[in-house]
């Protein structure tokens, strides 16, 4: 799979929370993370004609 952000190579990584274990895609180049929840939210935003930011927003604090 290619990264939608930088077109780099992505690999699967297994992450765990206290009760959940889930797989994500992680980009080797830029570190972007993609999981089913992220994909679902991006598809919903596209349907509403909202702007989807490709770069994370960082706080200034």
Domain boundary assignment for the chain: 1-36
Cα 23 to Cα 33: distance, rounded to the nearest angstrom: 10
* pLDDT tens per residue across span 8-52: 999 999 888 888 888 899 999 999 998 888 888 888 877 776 555
**Among 36, 1, 40, 30, CA closest to 15:** 36
The dihedral formed by the CA atoms of 3, 13, 19 and 41, expressed in degrees to the nearest 10: 10
**Position 60 pLDDT exceeds 80:** no
pTM of the model: 0.61
């Amino acid at each position: 799979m290619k990264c939608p952000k930088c077109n780099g190579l992505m690999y699967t990584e297994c992450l765990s929370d206290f009760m959940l274990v889930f797989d994500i895609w992680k980009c080797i180049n830029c570190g972007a993370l993609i999981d089913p929840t992220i994909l679902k939210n991006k598809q919903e935003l596209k349907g509403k004609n909202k702007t989807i930011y490709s770069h994370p927003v960082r706080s200034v604090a």
